Chains A and B, each alone.
Chain A
Amino acid sequence: MSPREEVYTRHGGKGGDRGKILAEMMNAEGKPEVLDDILVLDVSSANFAGIVAASFFAEFGAEVIKIEPPEGDPARLITPFGVTVQGVGVPFMFEGRNKRYMTLDVKNNPEDRKVFARLSKKAAVVIESFAPGEMDGWGIGYRQLVAENPGLIYIALSAYGQYTDKARESAKMPDTDITSQAGSGLPAQMGAPPNEPEPYTWPLRGGMWAGWYISGLSAALGGAVALLHRQNTGQGQMVDVAGMDSYSSMVGMPATIGFTWEKARPRIGVLDFILYPYGHWKCKDGYVAIAAPRDHDFRALLKVLGLWEQEDDWRYSSDRIPDILEQAIHLHKIIEEKTLQFTADELVKMALNYSKKSARSKWRGGGVPIVMKLMTPEEAMENKQWHIRKAFQEVEDKKLGKYTISSNFVKMSESPPRVKWVGSEIGGDNEYIRKKYLND
């Protein structure tokens, strides 16, 4: 059965059109591209927040020109363990989506700045990550460009933002992922509890670019709001994203808890500060994630694991999310003793069987404990779910050959994002751009 047929046959429901609607969402090809009338100039330097924001616009159909000096954006060499394909780093390959590449050295060459200014008259969006005020000093900052193009949306990325005394004092400090993570509060919440040995008790870096991707996403979101305003009024504006805000502004918890509790939360390892059980456990052949946070889910989990005798323990009957660490760890260990006796598949099956029965139960008292086999990114790539949903895509660069990216991050019935091509050749589109935008 093809994936398309599977969707048809299994989602028919009440004889309605839902199955058909969903089947038509499986492919993006041939559908309109929402930003097909938008030109974006990405002149960011050594900053993946800028590159990522530009990618999102490109995936929604904008013409995105990556502008870099002849030797290339230093971001090309920001890559795990120095791995490149013909000199292009992996993250740069990953983000090289639907983009054009032009060489202009706005940092050192006044003539190139003039070309940039001419291009920006035709642009809807400019993205940059130089030190705050630097572009302005070169005569191609927001206030100069917007005078010529009132509809321009100018997205600036930096460590501390474009205004305030702090921004002025620290204007020259570049923005990177790990400093953005640290400065905006992510590592402070991750790490072993205080009773364990160093360095595991240290604040821990998120093992992905949480800082840069959150900044990039925030920049694209702010830019999209600005695009709607521009569509309605013709007016552009400046969008200012600070790496030192990224995580804390997105999740909101640090600011409010720091105020109401008047102190910082400790690091609590694999425990959670609101939900329990809500984390991962070791099992016979790997790890499982278990989420059974509601009272009836928790009780169901106790039954599934054969731990029902714990149910009337005063410690867990009404308060199993204590800020008393010993108590929380105690329960964690009790559950671990059980999970270690089973394989991941066995645990998943046990929970599923229970949930099926409880979902069918007239009394609905059973709860739904969720158990899932933990996957590495490499294992996730094998999952049939993502094949059917086309979450991964094999792409081919003219020079770099074939590789795999994650794409199609949202399915939309009318104007979905998509990756049409990948590319990364420095100056590869100089001719195309000059002809299309700089002939007059």
Chain B
Amino acid sequence: MEDYFSYTAKLFNPDEADRKPEALKGIRVLDFSHVIFGPIAARLLADYGAEVIKLELPFYGDLWRPATYWGKYWKHSNPIWHNITKNKYFLSVNLKLKESKELIYRMVKDADVVIENFAPGTADAWDIGYEKISKINSSIIFLSCSTYGQFGPMRYFPGWDLLAQGASGVLTLNGYPDTDIFYKLPDYVGDFMPGNFAALSVLMALYHRKKTGKGQYIDMAQTEGLMRTLFHYTYYSVTQKAIGRTGNVDPTMVPAAIFKTADDKFLALACATSEQFENFTRAIGRPELSSDPRFSDTLERLKPENAKALHAIAVDWIRSQSCADVIRLADDKNIPAAEVADDYMIANEEWRRKRGSVVLFKDDVYGNLVIAGPSAMLSGTPSRTKWLARPLGYHNRFVLKKFLGLSEAEIEKLEKKKVIGTFDDRPGLKPPVYYDLSKDPIYNYGKEVGK
């Protein structure tokens, strides 16, 4: 039989991914959402082939367009926003105007999914909520994203990832015991994780609709998404004690922590099972530890006083080794270990590029940008990147002509009334300075463009 890794290399070959079928082809999504939590759910659907039309306010756009790290732009765009909103169609209409609503109601007829994350009740107040939309298209799947949910006494409280982390308890867990030193989880993961939960719910609703023909309303609260990932509640209900903060030590395994090496690097090493622990004791030349009564039994080993003693042994040993040596030994002896990877390493490590979990993407408007690949690789219907984010209103003509059959004259009329619009001079909204939009066939869809 063919060697496993040559078989899988063909099965998953990243060069062929773009030619494989798309699981969500033919699914149309209207994305009214902004910032990260809603948009990431819509993007995940787009990655698997859904046609996602993102609606933004003319000349203003998504609040997150200009929100780049320390104000550092890349080709007049927000580099990290590309990953959040790639593969979408960018339509800029003023949701509050009557004419815009007419456009939306027409689009809803052929749409499968609507996503919004305004403050609860706002979409209904603007007559683009589930109640109204489901009357136009009864099989619509309508996803409302919020921090605390659509009902309950806290529903109107505004929220961000920070507040979801604060309300679920996640925020208080990342730091050192008996100190004031603790931090929120970084990179707005309190938006990304619930955004993935939201996408999962939409996929389940699509599956249900195929079976029954029925659409549905989905109320995704990001705090509840985070709460689903904490067994701390169960620990408390069983012991009446809190797990609390445990610094760099994972209290569920031992040794399991982030350590400093002889060459002042940082790595994580963990032993999740007795087998891995025995491998570890042999690797550090202390095989007697696995028969030490304090450590031989897994649950005994995890008791705080024993875990502390074992952790100290691991700290001393790792401090005497170079990072590369520990990783090499761990690789040999089947012990989980990894150097702490930072931005630069993740962007540049060769294996990630080969795997496709980090991608150097060549875009028609922006040129080369490194972006993250998907977190799950599918052999049959892989996630893929087709284009990066676009300037505000970039797909106005494309969407209105192709999907709604509007004429150039009708579009010009809408432009004059400011029902639709594009960007102003702010970075994050406008195209790169070198890029000549007047020659872009998508931006000028249906018009003659100078070659």
Which one, B180, B212, B370, contacts A255 given CB within 8 A? B370
B79:A176 contact, CB within 8 angstroms: no
Residues of B within 8 A of A159 (CB): 336, 338
Instruction: Say whether A126 faces chain B, with CB atoms less than 8 Å apart.
Output: no
Q: Can you offer 24 A-B residue contacts whose CB atoms are under 8 A?
A: A14-B124, A80-B235, A81-B307, A84-B299, A93-B238, A163-B11, A182-B339, A187-B266, A204-B183, A205-B268, A208-B232, A218-B374, A218-B376, A222-B377, A226-B378, A241-B377, A255-B347, A255-B371, A258-B343, A259-B370, A280-B184, A406-B228, A409-B197, A413-B216
Residues of A within 8 A of B401 (CB): none
Smallest CB separation, B265 vs chain A (Å): 10
| Cα distance, A259 to B344, chains bound together (Å) | 7
Smallest CB separation, B369 vs chain A (Å): 7
Instruction: Say whether A54 faces chain B, with CB atoms less than 8 Å apart.
Output: no
Residues of A within 8 A of B284 (CB): none
| Cα distance, A217 to B207, chains bound together (Å) | 18
| Cα distance, A26 to B347, chains bound together (Å) | 44
Instruction: Say whether B196 faces chain A, with CB atoms less than 8 Å apart.
Output: yes
| Cα distance, A375 to B250, chains bound together (Å) | 21
A377:B233 contact, CB within 8 angstroms: yes
Which one, B157, B234, B251, contacts A403 given CB within 8 A? B234
B131:A18 contact, CB within 8 angstroms: yes
Smallest CB separation, B40 vs chain A (Å): 9
Contact flag A415-B260 (CB < 8 Å), given A218-B376, A372-B166: no
Smallest CB separation, A381 vs chain B (Å): 6
Residues of B within 8 A of A141 (CB): 4
Which one, A178, A224, A240, A291, contacts B256 given CB within 8 A? A178
Which one, A161, A237, A403, A404, contacts B378 given CB within 8 A? A237
Instruction: Say whether A330 faces chain B, with CB atoms less than 8 Å apart.
Output: no
Smallest CB separation, A403 vs chain B (Å): 5
A264:B344 contact, CB within 8 angstroms: yes
Smallest CB separation, B306 vs chain A (Å): 8
Residues of B within 8 A of A294 (CB): 63
| Cα distance, A16 to B135, chains bound together (Å) | 12
| Cα distance, A52 to B234, chains bound together (Å) | 15
Residues of B within 8 A of A136 (CB): 4, 7
* In the complex, chain B residues 31-58 whose Cβ is within 8 Å of any chain A Cβ: 44, 48
B233:A405 contact, CB within 8 angstroms: yes
Instruction: Say whether A229 faces chain B, with CB atoms less than 8 Å apart.
Output: yes
Residues of B within 8 A of A32 (CB): 208, 212
B379:A240 contact, CB within 8 angstroms: yes
Contact flag A265-B69 (CB < 8 Å), given A248-B341, A291-B163, A385-B153: yes
Q: Pick out which of these stretches binds chain A: B91-99, B349-357, B440-448.
A: B349-357
For B189-203 the 0/1 string (1 means CB < 8 A from A) is 100110011111101
B5:A133 contact, CB within 8 angstroms: yes
Contact flag A213-B346 (CB < 8 Å), given A81-B302, A136-B4, A410-B218: no
Q: Pick out which of these stretches binds chain B: A113-121, A268-276, A306-314, A428-436.
A: A268-276
B83:A256 contact, CB within 8 angstroms: yes
Instruction: Say whether B406 faces chain A, with CB atoms less than 8 Å apart.
Output: no
For A152-195 the 0/1 string (1 means CB < 8 A from B) is 00000001111111111111111111111111111111111000
Smallest CB separation, A5 vs chain B (Å): 12
| Cα distance, A94 to B13, chains bound together (Å) | 37
Contact flag A221-B208 (CB < 8 Å), given A25-B217, A175-B336, A259-B370: no
Instruction: Say whether B100 faces chain A, with CB atoms less than 8 Å apart.
Output: no
Residues of B within 8 A of A378 (CB): 169, 232-233, 236, 242
Instruction: Say whether B373 faces chain A, with CB atoms less than 8 Å apart.
Output: yes
| Cα distance, A206 to B12, chains bound together (Å) | 31
* In the complex, chain B residues 316-362 whose Cβ is within 8 Å of any chain A Cβ: 330-331, 334-348, 350-352, 354-355, 357-358
Residues of A within 8 A of B189 (CB): 186, 210, 214, 247, 250-251
B67:A274 contact, CB within 8 angstroms: yes
Instruction: Say whether A235 faces chain B, with CB atoms less than 8 Å apart.
Output: yes
Smallest CB separation, B27 vs chain A (Å): 9
Assuming A18-B130, A182-B341, A225-B381, what are 15 further A-B pairs, CB within 8 angstroms?
Answer: A78-B252, A132-B8, A176-B336, A184-B346, A205-B174, A222-B378, A242-B377, A250-B375, A254-B341, A280-B166, A287-B172, A377-B169, A380-B167, A383-B154, A413-B218
A236:B380 contact, CB within 8 angstroms: yes
For A16-39 the 0/1 string (1 means CB < 8 A from B) is 111001110110000010110000
Residues of B within 8 A of A249 (CB): 357, 372-375
Residues of A within 8 A of B250 (CB): 177-178, 205
Instruction: Say whether A238 faces chain B, with CB atoms less than 8 Å apart.
Output: yes
Residues of A within 8 A of B238 (CB): 83, 85, 90, 93, 403
Contact flag A202-B258 (CB < 8 Å), given A80-B251, A81-B302, A176-B253: yes
| Cα distance, A163 to B218, chains bound together (Å) | 37
B337:A179 contact, CB within 8 angstroms: yes
Which one, B7, B166, B234, B374, contacts A404 given CB within 8 A? B234
Which one, B68, B370, B380, contacts A274 given CB within 8 A? B68
Instruction: Say whether A289 faces chain B, with CB atoms less than 8 Å apart.
Output: yes
Smallest CB separation, B303 vs chain A (Å): 5
Q: For residue A8, which residue of chain B has the nearest CB?
A: B151
Q: Pick out which of these stretches binds chain A: B271-279, B391-399, B414-422, B430-438.
A: B271-279
Q: Pick out which of these stretches binds chain A: B70-78, B103-111, B285-293.
A: B70-78
Instruction: Say whether A362 faces chain B, with CB atoms less than 8 Å apart.
Output: no
Contact flag A205-B229 (CB < 8 Å), given A22-B151, A378-B169: no
Interface centre among A47, A217, A227, A323 (most CB of B within 10 A): A217
Q: For residue A163, which residue of chain B has the nearest CB?
A: B8
Contact flag A291-B152 (CB < 8 Å), given A173-B334, A378-B242: no
Which one, B192, B212, B372, B381, contacts A256 given CB within 8 A? B372
Which one, B150, B228, B242, B251, contacts A409 given CB within 8 A? B228
Smallest CB separation, B183 vs chain A (Å): 5
Instruction: Say whether B450 faces chain A, with CB atoms less than 8 Å apart.
Output: no
A238:B372 contact, CB within 8 angstroms: no
Contact flag A161-B208 (CB < 8 Å), given A175-B336, A224-B200, A410-B201: no
B338:A179 contact, CB within 8 angstroms: yes
B207:A187 contact, CB within 8 angstroms: no
| Cα distance, A200 to B355, chains bound together (Å) | 34
B343:A238 contact, CB within 8 angstroms: no
* In the complex, chain B residues 238-274 whose Cβ is within 8 Å of any chain A Cβ: 238-239, 242-253, 256-258, 260, 266-270, 272-274
Residues of A within 8 A of B245 (CB): 207
Q: For residue B303, which residue of chain A has the nearest CB?
A: A82
Instruction: Say whether A389 faces chain B, with CB atoms less than 8 Å apart.
Output: yes
